Amino acid sequence: MLAGYEAVPRYAELIHRVFGEDVDFVPPGILLELDRPEWKIYKREKMWTTGRVSIAANVGNVGRVQVLNRANSGIISVVTHLVTLTTAAASIRVTVDAAAAGTPAPCLALDTRLPFNAGAGAPTVSTQSLIANNTAGVSGYLILDFSSPAAGVWSPIITLPYPVVLDETHNLTVFDTTANEQLTAYIYGYERSARPEELTD
């Protein structure tokens, strides 16, 4: 059991909503950071995916799909998994803080209790997805390499060796290092509201 959870408002809201307002202690066996996904909303955590994002081939350039924690979002966004599809076997590189991509769109919520965004046709979150095919090389600092399978075959679901925590203005980018090739990807993670002292920039 753990006393004092009420000092963290998002934990207090979770405990009160799930177990009742008169509960003074976390019930035995409940670990607040290893809990059920349907409880995340009460801690102000929102699971997201980019959905299916594709960037067209462009002669001489490589394609990239990016997720961004935009400026002044007031959140921390955490990237956990991804999956890719290319039109030929290719080397995929994953970097942090690559050059900014374009065409921003809100990522899709994986909890249907969140507000519906008519423009996106789904509930959405603050984290954004972006695309670009306007550079000949990879940018950002490299955190992962893997090879995509044969042409037209989805890669396995890639679990990042460690989740990547994105502060405001930072991004994670998936590059197809083969020039002039279409890249399609899904990226997954979650975001949560942040206290000002948690945001370092």
pLDDT in single tens digits along all 201 residues of the chain = 445 666 677 777 777 777 776 777 777 777 766 668 998 888 899 999 999 999 999 999 999 999 999 999 999 999 999 999 999 888 999 999 999 999 999 999 999 999 999 999 999 999 999 999 999 999 999 999 999 888 889 999 999 999 999 999 999 999 999 999 999 999 999 999 988 888 875
Say which DSSP state 99 is in.
Answer: S
For residue 19, what pLDDT is reported?
A: 77
Rg over CA atoms, the chain: 19
Residues 115 and 174 in one domain: yes
pLDDT, tens only, 50-63? 999 999 999 999 99
The whole-angstrom distance between residue 166's C-alpha and the CA centroid of its chain comes to 9
- Rounded CA-CA distance 37/25 in Å is 21
* 116 shares its domain with 38: no
Number of domains comprising the chain: 2
Same domain for 175 and 190? yes
Alpha-carbon separation of residue 1 from 5, 24, 26 (angstroms): 10, 10, 6
Kindly tell me the burial class for residue 18, based on how many C-beta atoms sit within 10 Å of its own C-beta (0-12, 13-18, 19 or more): middle
Q: What is the pLDDT of residue 200?
A: 73
What does pTM read for this prediction?
0.86
Q: Per the structure block, which two tokens stand in for 41?
A: 């909303």
Query: What CATH number corresponds to the domain at position 59?
Result: 2.60.120
Domain residues for 18? 5-43
Q: Is the same domain home to 183 and 88? A: yes
Q: Are residues 83 and 130 in the same domain?
A: yes
How far is it, in rounded angstroms, from Cα 88 to Cα 66?
Answer: 21
Provide the pLDDT for residue 71. 95
> Are 23 and 113 in a shared domain?
no
10 and 82 part of one domain:
no
Whether 27 and 56 share a structural domain: no
pLDDT at 6 (0 to 100):
65
CA-closest candidate to residue 175, choices 197, 149, 126, 142: 142
The pLDDT score that the predictor gives to residue 173 is 98
Three-class SS of residue 133? strand
Q: 132 and 111, same structural domain?
A: yes
